[in-house]
Structure 1
Amino acid sequence: MKKKLGLTSKIFIGIFIGIIFGLIIKGMPSGTLKDDLLLNGILKVLGTGFISSIKMLVVPLVFVSLVCGSSSMGDIKKLSRIGGKTLFFYLITTAIAISLALLVGILINPGAGLDMSGLITSKPTIGESQSLTDIILAMIPSNPVQALASGEMLQIIVFSLLLGTSMSMIGEKADPVRKFFESANEICMKMVSLIMLLAPYGIFALIANTFATTGFEAIFSLIKYMFAVLLALALQVLIVYSGMIKIFTRLSLKPFFKKFANVAAITFSTASSNAALPVTIETMEDLGVDNSVASFTLPLGATINMDGTAIMQGVACIFIAQLYGIDLTIGSFLTIILTATLASVGTAGVPGVGMITLSMVLTSVGLPLEGIGLIMGVDRLLDMARTTVNVMGDCACTLVVSNSEGELDKSMYYGKKEGELVAINA
């Protein structure tokens, strides 16, 4: 029997055929066949239909997944010092990651020189610059139902976190509601997987439409976008994670990166934080982290710590804004940072969900979702890299927290006996 093609292979085939088909259409003379039947007919139905399917899932998926993620943290009172340190570390590193991504995006300008403003199907709604006070106040929903209906993403995030945290504090009394949301989350994830089956066809149409309009210019912009994301991911690892480990633990980085290679092999091949979780826990215990710390910080990180995904979202926002000639305000940048940071809480650690949360971030600042079609063409490659960074952030946090709590066996970390460890520290 022939081995069936996986979704990733189908997407790459769709990209390749879409590029060729788009360039063929670009060379065709204007007329009924090109404009009405192909561009505004078949390709529009497939491409716009796929984008609309993604839009359809944004609000329910974010709402349900955030409630599940925040309600599964356990008894808030028992989080104590370890819980507080872990949550603080994860939120701070995610905020740094998205800020770093915006800075890299602004410096590299991945979407500059490619004008796709004529492909926008809906008018963008970038608002006037708001003060930080106004942004914070706008995050509090006066009517949660209205926020859900109108897709006010920051308000939905705040309400979801409040609801999930309250469920966690109540404990067993909230079990019926918790089970409902867990079932709803499974349903939402299944809907995502079903819609992703349409991805090869939707991406084919979007890529074909892009190349039929812009030609080879789109390839150079995509290369710049990929370079910007990979550069920001590398800076997050080399500066943020490495710096925090050195500053807060005074440990050598070599044992950490050497042992993490085992985890990276899993994360890079599966693009899933959850799939790598058993290996991640085992690796951190081999590095001397006590199980009581690793078994708490790592599963929590797989749920709420998505630095790599936040970096992709930051660069993507700059990329898409430049593609469509839209100027982002200071208020827009602050909204992106807040939305991407808060959206990392509850995001499922499985492949493909980053595109759904990107839709949410784009929606929060009124950027057109059509740009996602171009990004999805190369997202699988970037997904593997950013998932590896996501998990490395979990491990760095675990190392820092365990060391601060005196739960790190440094002799195991260096793979040395106690006597040899004294010599190393000396």
Structure 2
Amino acid sequence: MKKIELHIQILIGLALGLCFALLSIQLGWPVSFTINYIKPFGTVFLNSLKMIAIPLVFVSLVIGITSIEDTTKLSRIGGKTFIIYTITTILAVILGLAVANIIKPGEVISEQTRDSLLKLYGGQAEQHSVSFEQTKATGPLQFLVDLVPENLFQALGNNMSLLQVVLVATMLGIALLKIPVRKSKPVILFFSGINEAIIELVGFIMKLAPFGVFALVSSLLIEIAGGSNTYEVFEILYALLWYVGTVVLGLAIMTLVIYPIIMRFFTKKSYLTFLKQIRPAQLIAFTTSSSSAALPVTMERVEKHLGVSEEISNFVLPLGATVNMDGTAVYQGIAVVFIAQALGIKLSLETQFMIVANVAISSIGVAGVPGAAMVTTTMILHAIGIPGVGLALILAPDRILDMCRTVTNITGDAVVAVVVASTEGELTSDNDINKSVTAKSTAD
């Protein structure tokens, strides 16, 4: 009997989770049952992915840098990666602003709905504002201080410290290139062994993916419903339908129009093939809302199914999980304009240029975990003079949109990895990949 492919298993888990949630709401089953006996399995799956995310980033970057023995090549690859990431981020913000200005979703929302959302989510919005004010009070250059950890092991134990881990791993990798080979080789072999073990661990964890996805989706929908009937759930979503539709449209254009153009310009790889091969990573990103959690799967798909060399993948992808948030950039551009429109605030062209600059800068170091973009969105609102309480207008559907923008985030990382590999001549063609897969299947 032919084994069901992983992405099909995940889709089945997703569909069953949706069906269970709707059935549970319709029949009035107690919410406590799902929260106490089903959600924990999803949390275990998500925690398992997060558990290996930081070690994987650290080890992969060290291996990726040390595998590029030519420092000139390292500088070239690093330069290409940063330039492409910067360009795609700026394109993403501009796209978000353009879509929001054309559709004008904030002008559709009624005053009654606005007041209801402000009343319902105002408390949560204030929490994000307080978090931002605490960061702001420490000084304009605090981000430089926060970049260097006081304790590496403490940073390794905190998924919010991903940028610190990236910095230390990069410095360690470069340092290993500078010392004699006889001294660096044992250390590199040590990290290489850990890297292989982590990849195997990813394989074990991914066997739980269908069950984890079922638990996460069903518990999420039931928590959103809060035990109410399905009509009330869809009524809440309908109140923000224009906003949600605008964000999804922006993300779709970035994923299905901008990325194919970039890939077509730099590579000969089919984008349809690319999407087919990266699909399992996209599904994990969608379910977990975490670029960091999806990173192990993204690396596996990019290396084994898209033909990107480990040398490129180990450098580009962990870096992308930290500094490249195209989906978040599209979302923030739309969200800020939506809030301004809903509050009746006109945004000048100069102000919108400020939004582009703020989003591009703030996207660097946004933790790849659910909800992390909220704090930086608050920062952008304050920077252009929009009341932080306006955040309450977008909190209701944010969990769903977080899932969507994470898909774009990891897709962008994979696109850049393919582009950089292609420009370096380290991208295996689709035909060669198919031959390799066929040969492996025959051998098995």
**TM-score bucket of the superposed structures, by smaller chain:** 0.5 to 0.7
1:266 equivalent among 284, 299, 315: 284
2:313 equivalent among 276, 282, 294: 294
Q: Once the 2 structures are TM-superposed, how far is the Cα of residue 370 of structure 1 from its aligned partner? A: 2.0
Counterparts of 2:430 and 2:151, CA distance in 1: 46
User: Do 2:292 and 2:368's aligned partners in 1 also have CA atoms closer than 8 Å?
Assistant: yes
Counterparts of 1:101 and 1:354, CA distance in 2: 15
The alignment's TM-score, normalised by the length of structure 2, stands at 0.58
1:370 is paired with a residue whose SS is helix
Quote the residue 1:282 is aligned against.
Answer: 300
Counterparts of 2:432 and 2:396, CA distance in 1: 40
User: Do 2:61 and 2:314's aligned partners in 1 also have CA atoms closer than 8 Å?
Assistant: no
Q: Once the 2 structures are TM-superposed, how far is the Cα of residue 407 of structure 1 from its aligned partner? A: 1.0
Letter in 2 for 1:349: G
Quote the residue 2:389 is aligned against.
Answer: 370
1:283-334 Cα distance to aligned partner (Å, 9 max, x none): 0112111111111111111111111111111111111001110011222111
User: Do 1:288 and 1:412's aligned partners in 2 also have CA atoms closer than 8 Å?
Assistant: no
1:367 is paired with a residue whose SS is coil
1:176-197 Cα distance to aligned partner (Å, 9 max, x none): 4656766787599xxxxxxxxx
From the superposition, tell whether residues 149 and 254 of structure 1 become closer, same or farther in structure 2 (CA, over 3 Å).
Answer: closer
Quote the residue 1:151 is aligned against.
Answer: 136
Counterparts of 2:413 and 2:159, CA distance in 1: 23
Counterparts of 1:162 and 1:403, CA distance in 2: 36
Letter in 1 for 2:361: L
Q: Once the 2 structures are TM-superposed, how far is the Cα of residue 344 of structure 1 from its aligned partner? A: 1.2
1:402 matches 2:385? no
2:275 equivalent among 257, 263, 266: 257
Residue ranges of structure 2 left out of the alignment (5+ in a row) = 1-29, 40-56, 120-131, 163-220, 226-231, 438-444
1:5 equivalent among 21, 35, 38: 35
1:80 equivalent among 75, 83, 103: 75
1:334 matches 2:317? no
Counterparts of 1:185 and 1:283, CA distance in 2: 22
Q: Once the 2 structures are TM-superposed, how far is the Cα of residue 5 of structure 1 from its aligned partner? A: 2.2
Q: Once the 2 structures are TM-superposed, how far is the Cα of residue 150 of structure 1 from its aligned partner? A: 8.7
Quote the residue 2:94 is aligned against.
Answer: 99
Q: Once the 2 structures are TM-superposed, how far is the Cα of residue 114 of structure 1 from its aligned partner? A: 3.6
Q: Once the 2 structures are TM-superposed, how far is the Cα of residue 347 of structure 1 from its aligned partner? A: 0.9
1:235 is paired with a residue whose SS is helix
Counterparts of 2:142 and 2:400, CA distance in 1: 34
Letter in 2 for 1:160: F
2:240 is paired with a residue whose SS is helix
User: Do 1:321 and 1:328's aligned partners in 2 also have CA atoms closer than 8 Å?
Assistant: yes
1:331 is paired with a residue whose SS is helix
User: Do 1:263 and 1:279's aligned partners in 2 also have CA atoms closer than 8 Å?
Assistant: yes
2:107 is paired with a residue whose SS is coil
Counterparts of 2:282 and 2:315, CA distance in 1: 20
2:322 equivalent among 299, 303, 328: 303
User: Do 1:305 and 1:394's aligned partners in 2 also have CA atoms closer than 8 Å?
Assistant: yes
Quote the residue 2:205 is aligned against.
Answer: none
Q: Once the 2 structures are TM-superposed, how far is the Cα of residue 396 of structure 1 from its aligned partner? A: 0.1
User: Do 1:102 and 1:314's aligned partners in 2 also have CA atoms closer than 8 Å?
Assistant: yes
1:160 matches 2:147? no
How many residues are paired up? 299
Quote the residue 2:259 is aligned against.
Answer: 241
Letter in 2 for 1:5: I
2:105 is paired with a residue whose SS is coil
The alignment's TM-score, normalised by the length of structure 1, stands at 0.61
Q: Once the 2 structures are TM-superposed, how far is the Cα of residue 4 of structure 1 from its aligned partner? A: 5.0
User: Do 1:112 and 1:221's aligned partners in 2 also have CA atoms closer than 8 Å?
Assistant: no
Quote the residue 2:246 is aligned against.
Answer: 228
Counterparts of 1:73 and 1:368, CA distance in 2: 40
Letter in 2 for 1:151: K
1:203-234 Cα distance to aligned partner (Å, 9 max, x none): 99xxxxxx9xxxx8x86561110111011001
1:232-276 Cα distance to aligned partner (Å, 9 max, x none): 001101221111111100222222111011111211111111111
User: Do 1:115 and 1:324's aligned partners in 2 also have CA atoms closer than 8 Å?
Assistant: no
Letter in 2 for 1:99: I
Counterparts of 1:259 and 1:413, CA distance in 2: 15
From the superposition, tell whether residues 219 and 149 of structure 1 become closer, same or farther in structure 2 (CA, over 3 Å).
Answer: closer
Counterparts of 1:256 and 1:3, CA distance in 2: 40
Kindly, what percent of the aligned residue pairs are identical?
A: 37
1:314 matches 2:314? no
Query: Which region of structure 1 is more displaced relative to structure 2, 176-185 or 281-290?
Result: 176-185
1:111 is paired with a residue whose SS is helix
User: Do 2:247 and 2:334's aligned partners in 1 also have CA atoms closer than 8 Å?
Assistant: yes
1:135-163 Cα distance to aligned partner (Å, 9 max, x none): xxxxxxxxxxxx9879399x84x662587
Q: Once the 2 structures are TM-superposed, how far is the Cα of residue 388 of structure 1 from its aligned partner? A: 0.5
1:346 matches 2:365? yes
2:418 is paired with a residue whose SS is helix
Letter in 2 for 1:274: S
